[in-house]
Amino acid sequence: MLGSFLDSAATRFPGKVALICEGESVTYRELDSRVTALARWLLDQGLRPGDRVAIHWLNSIPAVQVFMACFRAGLIVVPINARLKPLEVAYILEHARPGIYFCQPELSAIAVEAQSGLAAQPRFCTALPAPDESRPDNLPEVDADRPALILYTSGTTARPKGVVHTHRSIHACAKLTEFVDLGESDTVLLMTSVMHASGVFVQMVPGLIVGATIVLIPAFQAAAVLDAAERHNCTWSAALPSMLQFVLEEQAARPRRTGFRTFIAGGDTVPLALHERFQQLFGMPVLELFGMTESVPTCSNLKNARRPGSIGRLLGSVEARIVGLTGRDLSDGEIGEMAVRSPGNFIGYWNDPVETAAALESGWLMTGDLVRRDGDGYFWFEGRKKQIIVRGGANISPQEVEEALYQHPAVLEAGVIGLPDPVYGERVVAFVTLRPGKVVAEQELREFAQKRLSDHKVPERIEFLEALPKGPTGKVQRRALKEMASGRPAVKN
């Protein structure tokens, strides 16, 4: 399934540009030919369908080629985020046991250190082999239900889990993305990493399936993003909310002419203040989309069906239930855990049957996300089960408190946690970064929040940081904030 769609696109759009990156471009016909040659080379090295191939690269044409060649050869891609440290990379290599490890030369120092203590060393490559496009195509047929990808996600566990997707589930995720107004006439600006679920499922694969042109941004920088959007007249893009904050700051400071007609934000909550600022600066809405590495997308706001602040309605054939603490299904308006049944659901965690059994119950993915559904079928994110702050028996969503703080014009980013309290169980603590040149006192910000939140939800303490700690995907790391709160003092602005 994934092995053939690129061949189909090359037949339909042979001379059309498929990928653009830093002045280099490749057509669909050229990409298809290179991918086929690389797939043959991988099998010539002794790899067999089901073997793993690691790819540790910034967004680039070679990175896309490795993904597509592995899909075509029936091998399993193991992406490694460029922001990971050597110990984190070593864990992935030890757990997935790839036979070949492709690493961008600029990242080789991290890779060498990561491999130094491994019992089984993969073959290490810092460049793709020269393509031999003269040989006949004798690649194997690949079963759509075979594993194609292992994406490692830290989630809330101490050790990353390897999320396994098949050719069928990746294709299903890509087809669901097409509901968010993606077509062959689009030029997709890909600023999130292709080593991340959003980059693979919501941009790279669906963009290539429909025959769009994809502009790859090697590493996120707001100025580079907007420069590329203007230069290539990009029409469609997706970003994490943390990225979007910086894109908006850059657009406000140095406006560019852009041709965007669809812009998606997801991967974390999208504050209403961000929705409003995007509308002001780009003259169009940002569409909030919801999903997780195990299944993305599941629901989204669409241009003709949008409720700002919600995570949208279910896409395509996706089904969802809202489950209470006792396991019973809840009614509209009640808050419970979202369970999802989708053709894009993953099939399990790599070599982890215990976590797989906990996440998948009779075909339903237990997301760990707390939501409510309104009478019109829109879902509203209310927090994550393991992040809920319990104060005096009342549940407090960190996202709700963050939403209130984001409404202050001086606040750029916010992260809220619960800390132990001897009387109430937990107390609310917030960490914020301010917009350049803005100043606000802690008490003023608390009073601002108090006008928008119940008293028990107002942060008892607000710390000002130069930057919030973020993980490889750009999400604020609440675990790091808790460690910071209990250890060294915060750095004041």
* Nearest in space to 246 (alpha carbons), one of 433, 61, 106: 433
117 with 230, same domain: the answer is: yes
Residues 79 and 141 reside in one and the same domain:
yes
Q: What is residue 422's predicted lDDT score, i.e. its pLDDT?
A: 76
Residue 423 shares a structural domain with residue 343: no
| 261 and 342 in a common domain | yes
Residues 342, 409 within the same domain: no
Tell me: do 27 and 129 sit in the same domain.
Answer: yes
Mean pLDDT estimate for the chain: 91
Query: What does the pLDDT look like over 47-88, one tens digit per residue?
Result: 999 999 999 999 999 999 999 999 999 999 999 999 888 888
Strands (E) in 135-225, as ranges, are: 147-153, 161-166, 187-190, 213-216
CATH code of residue 400: 3.30.300.30
Span 287-338, pLDDT tens digits: 999 999 999 999 999 999 999 999 999 999 999 999 998 889 999 999 999 9
Counting the structural domains of the chain, the total is 2
Q: Are residues 321 and 430 in the same domain?
A: no
What domain range includes position 176?
2-373
Residue 433 has pLDDT above 50, yes or no: yes
For position 415, what pLDDT does the model report?
A: 93
Per-residue pLDDT at 420 exceeds 70: yes
pLDDT greater than 50 at residue 365: yes
Distance, in Å, from the CA atom of 359 to the CA atom of 357, rounded to the nearest integer, reads 6
Give residues with Cβ within 8 angstroms of 280, minimum separation 6: none
Paired tokens of 128: 């793709």
Rounded mean pLDDT, 15-21: 98
Confidence of residue 454 (pLDDT cuts 50, 70, 90): confident
Domain-located, residue 462:
yes
Q: pLDDT of 369-381, one tens digit each?
A: 999 999 999 999 9
Q: Between the CA of residue 211 and those of 12, 67, 92, 461, what are the distances in Å?
A: 8, 17, 33, 51
Closest of 119, 139, 113, 120 to residue 6, by C-alpha: 139
Q: Which residues pair with 88 in a beta bridge?
A: none
- Same-domain status, 396 and 355: no
**Separation between Cα atoms, residue 135 and residue 41, nearest integer Å:** 11
Q: Is residue 477's pLDDT more than 70? A: yes
Same domain, 130 and 266: yes
**Would you state the pLDDT for residue 493?**
38
Tell me the pLDDT tens digit for each residue of 185-201: 999 999 999 999 999 99
Domain finish residue from 321, 338, 373: 373
